[in-house]
Structure 1
Amino acid sequence: MKFKRMTEIYSRLVDSTITNTNEINDFSVGSAMRAIYEAISIELEQFYIITRENIQEAIEAGVYSSFGFTRKQAMKAYGNLQLTFHTANQVDLPIPRGTRFTSSQSAYPQVYETLVDYYIPAGSLTATIQVYCTIPGEVGNVPANVIDVMMTPLANVKSVTNPSAFLTGQDAEPLEEMRSRFRSFIEALSRATIPALEYGTRTVPEVSGVYVDEQTGLITIYAHDRNGDLPENVQNSIETTIQNYRPAGIPVEVKPVIKKALDVSVVVTLTNKSAITNAFRDKISSEIQRY
C-alpha cells in the first residue's frame, strides 16, 4: 500500500475536479470547496496512517505468535515485613495465609497479604514474613516503613513495618521492552550460551537483573528482583527454568547479589510549591531506588 499525504490527496481532488467540470474553479484560501477538500484529505490521511499501523501491528503480532512469544502481564508488589512481639512467644505462633496489612498513612491505602502459612518459633521476639499486594501493578510499590497496620490482629504483636521499600510491582510490559526482549529471545535460541542463560533467567517474572559468570567447569548466575533480593521461591524458579538453557555436564549455581547502599542527594525544583509533599518526596525516593 502506497502511503499518501494530505497534500497529495488534496492535489488529486483539485486536479480531478478541474479536469471533469468547469462549474467549480475557486480553490483559494478560505473558499468553501478548499475547506471541504482539505477536510476530506485530512480524514483520508488518517485512514492511511491507521491502516499502516494496523498492518505493522498485525505482522509483529504474527511473528510473536509463531514463536509462542507473549507479553508479560502486570505483577503484584511483594516484600518482607518485620513483626515485633511484646514478649517472647511461649509456643509456636501461626500466621495464617491471607493475613492482611496496610498503612496508617492515607497516601498508601494499598493492602498486602500473606500467600502461605507461617509458624513463628517459640521464644521469638521478632519475625520476618513475605507479603504481596492484593492489586497488581506499580501501584503496590511503597517506601520503607509505611506498612504499619495489621488488619487481622494477632495476640502479642507489638508492631509491624516494612524495613525496605517495595519496588517489585510492575505494570504490563511496555511494547518497547517486549521488542527488546524478543531480540534476546532470538539470541537465546542457541542453547548453552551466556545469552541463552541470561534470557532463561529473565523469563522468571520476578527477575530484574542478571549476571552470568562463566568459569572453567562452573557457571554462576547472579540474579535479583527489583528489591535487590533473591527470595527462595524465585531462586527455585530460576533453577527449574534454566534446565532448558544450560549446557550439559557443567554445574550451574544460582546466587543472590550483594547489595551496597549508595548515598544519593537529589535537588528537585518545582514551580508549584503546593506539590511539595511527603508523598511526593517518597515517590521520588522510590523511583531512584528502583532505578
Structure 2
Amino acid sequence: MADLPLYLQDQTEDEIMQRMLSRVPADIDKSEGSFIWDAQAPVAFMLSEAAIWAQELLRRGFASTAASDSDDTRSVELDLRTAEHGIARREAVAASGIVLFTGKPGTLVPEGTFVATPTDEVSGESSVEYVTTTAVVLDGSGVGTATIRAVVPGKNGNVPAGVINVMSSSVSGISSVSNPEPTKSGADTESDQSLLERFYAKIRSQGTSGNKVQYMQWANEIAGVGGVEVVPLWKGPGTVGLYILDTDKRAASPEIIDAVQNHIDPTQDGQGEGLAPAGPVVTVLPAEEVPISISVKVQRTQEKPSTLEEIRELIADGVKAYLQQIAFNRKDPLVRYTRIAAVLLDIPIIVDYSDLTINGNSEQQNIEIGSGQVAVLGTVNVSE
C-alpha cells in the first residue's frame, strides 16, 4: 500500500501513550506504575488497535490492495469491489477428455459410468474420479471411446495420458479402461490476481458497441477461458471469429467453447439474442494447437549428478512456461529459437548444449504462429 494518511501514522501503542502522558500536568506523578500511567495504558492499547483496524479497512477498500498474491486465497472484499462493475469471479471448471474401453464386443457402457486414476500410496496422492458424459457400445473389436468430465472441478482433473485405468462403476463385459490423451481445460476458482487483471481491463479499456475489446471481455466472463483472439470479418462482412484458450494456454475444451458461444451469440443468426449486437454472426472456436518439438544434446555438470530424464523435465517446464507467455501475442507472433536456447542455458545442471533442433529444423529459424493458433509443447528429446 502507498504511504499511510497522516491520521494513521505514528499510531503505535508507545507513541499514543507518550502523547497522552505529555498532556498530564507536570506536578502529577505519571511514572510507570502510577495511577495516571495505569489508567492510560489500556486506552493507548485500544487506540493503537483501532488504528490497525482502520489501516486494514483502508487496505480492503481498494481493489489493488484487497487482492491477494496467493493462489490459495480469495478476497471477499475484491469480489464486492469488482461486482460494482459487473465482474464476477469465475468458478472452477471440470477437466474433460476421452477414455477408451475394451472388453466384450457389443457391451454397452452407459452415460454416467465412473472411472478414476489409482491412488498413489507412496506419495499419498488421492484418486481423481471422472464420469462419462456419453454412452458407448463396444464395436466388433471390443473397443469404444466415450467422453468424460471430472467429478470435482479444478486443475486436479488435468492428468497425463494413460493414468485413468480404474473402473469405479462395475460394468459387465468391460476388461479395461484408459485415457489415450491427457485430460485438459480443468481450472481452479479464479485467483485474485486474475480477477484484478480483468477488473483493470474493463475499467481502463472500455469495451463498447461490439468492438474487439468488448468481445474479449464477454468471452473472459466464462469460467475456464484463459485467452481470446478476436478476428473481425472472419468469413467476410458481418462475421466475427473468436479463438479461445483455456487457463493452461491450450485449445479450450468443447464445454468452454459451447459456454462462450451461448453467452455471446447462441443462435448465430445475427438477431442479437446473446450479448453480441444484432447484425454480426459470431463463431467461437478452440485455438489451433501448433506443437513445438525439441531435440538437443546436452553436457551435464559433474558437481551435481542428474539424469537425462530430470533434464528433459526441466527443459519441458521451461519451454512450456515460455510458450504460455507468448500465447495469442499478435505483436510478436514468433516462437524464437534464441528464447528456447536461453531456457537451456538457464538450467544450472546444463553446462552446454549442441544440435538443437526445433520441429526437426536445425537452422536457427523462428517459427511463426498464425492467427487463431497457439504454440504448445510437443516432444522433448535429450541425449548426450
Give TM-score scaled by structure 2 length.
0.57
Q: Deviations over 1:130-181 (max 9, x none)?
A: 3233323333333332221112233443432233433433332222211221
Query: 2:241 aligns to what?
Result: 220
Name the SS of the counterpart of 2:196 in structure 1. helix
1:104–1:149: 8 Å Cα contact kept in structure 2? no
Q: Deviations over 1:92-122 (max 9, x none)?
A: 6233314232325334423323253412363
Match of 1:135 among 149, 152, 155: 152
AA at the equivalent of 1:233: E
Shift in CA distance, 130/113, structure 1 to aligned 2, threshold 3 Å: same
Q: Equivalents in 2 of 1:3, 1:165: separation in Å?
A: 56
Q: Which structure's residues are more often helix, by fraction?
A: 1
Task: Please report how far the alpha carbon of residue 20 of structure 1 lies from its aligned counterpart in structure 2 after TM superposition.
Answer: 1.0
Task: Please report how far the alpha carbon of residue 59 of structure 1 lies from its aligned counterpart in structure 2 after TM superposition.
Answer: 8.0
Which structure 2 residues correspond to residues 59-70 of structure 1 after superposition, within 5 A? 63-70=81-88
**Aligned-residue CA RMSD (Å):** 4.2
AA at the equivalent of 1:47: W
Q: Equivalents in 2 of 1:140, 1:219: separation in Å?
A: 32
Query: 2:30 aligns to what?
Result: 24
Task: Please report how far the alpha carbon of residue 46 of structure 1 lies from its aligned counterpart in structure 2 after TM superposition.
Answer: 2.1
- Whether 1:14 aligns to 2:31 is no
Count the aligned residue pairs: 271
Name the SS of the counterpart of 1:260 in structure 2. strand
Shift in CA distance, 189/171, structure 1 to aligned 2, threshold 3 Å: same
- Whether 1:102 aligns to 2:117 is yes
Q: Equivalents in 2 of 1:105, 1:201: separation in Å?
A: 38
Structure with the larger RCO, 1 or 2 (CA within 8 Å, 6+ apart): 1
Task: Please report how far the alpha carbon of residue 74 of structure 1 lies from its aligned counterpart in structure 2 after TM superposition.
Answer: 2.6
2:243–2:285: 8 Å Cα contact kept in structure 1? yes
Query: 1:210 aligns to what?
Result: 228
1:81–1:129: 8 Å Cα contact kept in structure 2? yes
Query: 1:46 aligns to what?
Result: 52
2:244–2:287: 8 Å Cα contact kept in structure 1? yes
Shift in CA distance, 69/168, structure 1 to aligned 2, threshold 3 Å: same
Shift in CA distance, 205/60, structure 1 to aligned 2, threshold 3 Å: closer
Task: Please report how far the alpha carbon of residue 60 of structure 1 lies from its aligned counterpart in structure 2 after TM superposition.
Answer: 5.7
Q: Equivalents in 2 of 1:115, 1:287: separation in Å?
A: 33
Shift in CA distance, 124/226, structure 1 to aligned 2, threshold 3 Å: farther
Structure 2 gap ranges (5+): 33-37, 67-75, 266-273, 325-384
Name the SS of the counterpart of 1:23 in structure 2. coil
1:10–1:37: 8 Å Cα contact kept in structure 2? no
Query: 2:89 aligns to what?
Result: 71
Shift in CA distance, 94/60, structure 1 to aligned 2, threshold 3 Å: closer
1:229–1:257: 8 Å Cα contact kept in structure 2? yes
Between the two proteins, what is the percent identity of the paired residues? Answer: 17
- Whether 1:182 aligns to 2:186 is no
Name the SS of the counterpart of 2:152 in structure 1. strand
Q: Which moved more, 1:192-201 or 1:232-241?
A: 232-241
AA at the equivalent of 1:93: L
AA at the equivalent of 1:94: V
1:83–1:157: 8 Å Cα contact kept in structure 2? no
Shift in CA distance, 127/212, structure 1 to aligned 2, threshold 3 Å: farther
- Whether 1:123 aligns to 2:129 is no
Task: Please report how far the alpha carbon of residue 203 of structure 1 lies from its aligned counterpart in structure 2 after TM superposition.
Answer: 2.1
Task: Please report how far the alpha carbon of residue 190 of structure 1 lies from its aligned counterpart in structure 2 after TM superposition.
Answer: 1.1
Shift in CA distance, 235/167, structure 1 to aligned 2, threshold 3 Å: closer
Q: Equivalents in 2 of 1:120, 1:111: separation in Å?
A: 24
Structure 1 gap ranges (5+): 27-31
Task: Please report how far the alpha carbon of residue 17 of structure 1 lies from its aligned counterpart in structure 2 after TM superposition.
Answer: 0.9
